[in-house]
Amino acid sequence: MAQLITVEEANLQQIDYHQRYCEELEKGNILFFPKCPFDFPQEELDFLLSQKQTGAANRKNIAYKPQSNKITNVVALSEEQRMKMLDIMQSYSRKTMDLLAHLLAPYADKWKLDYASFRPFQEKGRQLRTRARNDLLHVDSFPSRPVHGDRILRFFTNINPLEKRHWITSDPFETLAELFGGTNKLPFPQGVHETFSGRLIRALKKSAHKLGLPITLRSPYDSFMLNLHNFLKENEEFQEICSKDYWEFPPHSCWAVFTDQVSHAAISGQYALEQTVIIPRLSLIIPEAAPVSILEKITKSSMVDSLFLAH
Ligand SMILES: [Fe+2]
């Protein structure tokens, strides 16, 4: 089960701590910052807290895509407000990445910057379809952005001035894979070298992808993680009886965690920001603790196809 590792302000600049913080994350622990470790202007906070995001058919979080400097899922904003939202998200993304580049230095030269998000909704009682619910325990997996064994690291900030953000965490990936993997509802995937038909299908998918067809090149690892995500959320018995730790993240605190490893749920709280970073498998301090390594150990097969990596 996850432990909370508090990052003291005095240790933010300590180079000796970098490796230790990476190790704690890879062991499935949560790095916790009692106070936001970078400047966040009140004017920006006021703007974010005034956002209601009402009227959208599916009420999605606002996403910021740093590579193209674009925001999506913004509703009911004037062009001026939209630009302001874009500026604030860009600034949050930059400050977060500056902090992590220093704090998690062993990862910084090879990581891949992913999306950031603004979460203006109250998580408690939020009406979403089962697989999209945040208040059910799950491990993260991106349906349209496969990671091929690399890791999903997320940094969160509770910008609500009054309300804590409440999380539950439960068993880590290894326990979940041992408990539920290989059952009818969650079969282990075949390794990439195991069958000729599997290799042929992946080669065809790769060709179709090259031709520009909208095909997601998912490795056996990605398929398993997506199935595990869905399986956990749809498993009422697991949600009810699994062992749980309860966490409170106070106003203006931040936390970072490998969300592909630590099963988690956000059960209440409103107004949070988040930045995702993809950490390559090759950069890990404890590669054997990565979900892909655990899955490969259990199945004695390779779960990542090099054909898909080179795109
Ligand atoms: Fe999640």
Interval between CA 142 and ligand 1 midpoint (Å): 10
The torsion region of residue 31 among left (phi > 0), alpha (psi -120 to 50) and beta comes to beta
Interval between CA 256 and ligand 1 midpoint (Å): 12
**Strand, helix or coil at 32?**
strand
Domain architecture of the chain: domains with CATH: 4-175+245-287 (2.60.120)
Q: What is the pLDDT of residue 57?
A: 44
Give residues whose Cβ lies within 5 Å of ion ligand 1: 140, 259
The CA distances from residue 131 to 29, 64, 137, in Å, are: 25, 22, 11
The CA distances from residue 146 to 1, 6, 263, in Å, are: 26, 31, 18
Cβ(69)–Cβ(42) below 8 Å: no
The alpha carbon torsion through 10, 14, 20, 25 (nearest 10 deg) reads 60
Interval between CA 211 and ligand 1 midpoint (Å): 32
Cβ-proximal residues to 78 (8 Å cutoff; 6+ apart), any chain: none
Interval between CA 299 and ligand 1 midpoint (Å): 25
Interval between CA 75 and ligand 1 midpoint (Å): 23
- What are phi and psi for residue 67, nearest 5 degrees? -60, -40
Q: What is the pLDDT of residue 21?
A: 94
- CA separation for the pair 14, 21 (Å, rounded): 11
Blockwise average pLDDT, block size 10, the chain, 311 residues: 89 77 97 95 95 63 94 85 95 96 93 96 89 95 94 98 97 96 92 76 78 81 96 97 97 98 97 97 96 96 78 48
Residue with tokens 């075949």: 190
Residue with tokens 């240790």: 11
Interval between CA 47 and ligand 1 midpoint (Å): 25
H/E stretch holding 69: none
Interval between CA 203 and ligand 1 midpoint (Å): 31
